[in-house]
């Protein structure tokens, strides 16, 4: 988009000031604080133009201007300078995650908590549904009496377990045999694939125990479904209450309710953009949910073995510190990708 240099400066000043103060910005403020070397009157003329272009708007006639959604969009696309993470923050993050990298879940939790803490917005992380993941290992293990534990390992590094209650006790050998059979039949398949698998095909090898087999299959599905429900990591949701635009309980409730809807948040976060690290910025109604019309969602993906395996993001008011947030998310994306390497 073409625009005179000074208009850009005015727009940027308005946005920066509004982000900082949450108050409509007047012409006087801009000419004084963001020394553009022109008088308020000149600024007013520019503002009138910017308003006509739809980049800023007036809450009412005698108030200053606030950025419109389009204004923010223009800002993040053309004006904003991404702010790199300071070394201090980098160090802080690394120290806090150093002990967490053993287990993927802990790592991911730690990352989300840090993000919300540093930004003061809500932070989220999504591990996509398992449907496309390949079962890389499966094992049945006897516990006590008539209890078995089923271990499932997926190619994205996640491990799940599920406890099985069975009717008749099985011998060690039977368990081992069954375990082998499951391994041969299911390993290498995606979750989607084995879900559609005909249990008959399996049971031909073990028809004597078709009930047990069915129970096991149900149990596997259970294990991956429990996880399905737990694959959204959310931290700092209450931070939105610190924002002056969320002084109203109804608005807060709208946002928090939506945040609890795993499915919706997943959909929102998985539509990732094209930029580097797949950074995506969705502003206001671009999130396509009424309740998020006053929020912006910034997301980045992270990878394992060159494949995107998750999305991490920050949800704040549209009046968000985009430049900082983007920098931080890029850093976090790289960090996660790095930490997962070789797992």
Partner DNA sequence: ATTAGCACTCGAAGATAGAGAGTGCTAACA
Partner DNA sequence: TGTTAGCACTCTCTATCTTCGAGTGCTAAT
User: Please, what is the Cα angle at 283 between 277 and 287, to 5 degrees?
Assistant: 90
Q: How far is CA 186 from CA 41, 176, 281, 301, in A?
A: 73, 15, 39, 29
Contact 178, 140 (CB under 8 A): yes
Q: Give me the residues paired with residue 152 across strands.
A: 138, 160
Residue 24 near DNA by CB under 7 A: yes
Mark the segment that binds DNA (CB under 7 A) among 51-59, 88-96, 152-160, 227-235.
51-59
Q: What are the residues whose beta carbons fall under 8 Å from the beta carbon of 240, sequence distance 6 or more?
A: 121, 122, 246, 252, 255, 256, 295, 315, 316, 317
Asked if 136 touches a copy of itself (CB under 8 A), the answer is yes
Return the CA Rg of the chain: 26
Residue 173 touches a copy of itself, criterion: CB under 8 A:
no
Q: Which of residues 196-255 bind a copy of itself (CB under 8 A)?
A: 219, 222, 226, 238, 241, 246-249, 252-253
| Chosen residue from 13, 15, 17, 64 binding DNA by CB under 7 A | 64
Q: Which of 22, 33, 54, 63 binds DNA (CB under 7 A)?
A: 63
Strand partners for 137: 153
DSSP, res 134: B
Considering only the stretches 24-32, 122-130, 142-150, 231-239, report the one whose residues sit in contact with DNA under the rule CB under 7 A.
Answer: 24-32
Binding to a copy of itself by residue 262, rule CB under 8 A? no
Cβ-based nearer residue to a copy of itself, 164 or 320: 164
Q: Does 161 bind a copy of itself (CB under 8 A)?
A: yes
Q: Does 144 bind a copy of itself (CB under 8 A)?
A: yes
Question: Interface residues with DNA (CB under 7 A)?
Answer: 6, 24-29, 37-42, 44-45, 47-48, 51, 58-65
């Amino acid at each position: 988009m073409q625009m005179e240099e000074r208009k850009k400066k005015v727009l940027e000043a308005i946005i920066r000031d509004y982000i900082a103060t949450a108050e409509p910005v007047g012409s006087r403020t801009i000419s004084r604080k963001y020394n553009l070397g022109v008088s308020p009157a000149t600024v007013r003329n520019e503002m009138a133009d910017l308003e006509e272009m739809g980049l800023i708007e007036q809450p009412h006639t005698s108030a200053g201007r606030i950025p419109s959604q389009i204004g923010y969009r223009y800002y993040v696309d053309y004006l904003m300078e991404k702010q790199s993470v300071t070394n201090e923050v980098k160090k802080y993050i690394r120290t806090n995650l150093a002990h967490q990298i053993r287990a993927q879940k802990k790592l991911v939790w730690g990352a989300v908590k840090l993000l919300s803490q540093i930004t003061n917005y809500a932070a989220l992380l999504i591990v996509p549904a398992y449907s496309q993941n390949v079962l890389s290992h499966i094992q049945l293990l006897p516990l006590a009496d008539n209890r078995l534990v089923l271990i499932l390992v997926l190619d994205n590094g996640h491990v799940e377990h599920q406890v099985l209650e069975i009717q008749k006790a099985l011998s060690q050998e039977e368990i081992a045999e069954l375990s082998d059979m499951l391994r041969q039949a299911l390993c290498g398949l995606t979750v989607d694939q084995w879900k559609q698998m005909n249990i008959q095909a399996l049971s031909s090898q073990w028809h004597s125990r078709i009930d047990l087999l069915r129970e096991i299959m149900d149990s596997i599905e259970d294990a991956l479904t429990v996880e399905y429900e737990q694959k959204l990591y959310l931290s700092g949701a209450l931070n939105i209450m610190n924002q002056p635009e969320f002084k109203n309980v109804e608005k807060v409730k709208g946002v928090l309710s939506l945040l609890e809807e795993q499915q919706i948040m997943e959909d929102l976060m998985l539509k990732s953009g094209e930029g580097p690290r797949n950074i995506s910025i969705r502003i206001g109604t671009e999130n396509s949910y009424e309740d998020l019309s006053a929020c912006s969602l910034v997301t980045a993906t992270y990878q394992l073995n060159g494949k995107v395996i998750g999305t991490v993001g920050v949800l704040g008011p549209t009046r968000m510190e985009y430049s900082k947030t983007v920098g931080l998310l890029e850093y976090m994306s790289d960090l996660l990708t790095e930490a997962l390497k070789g797992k």
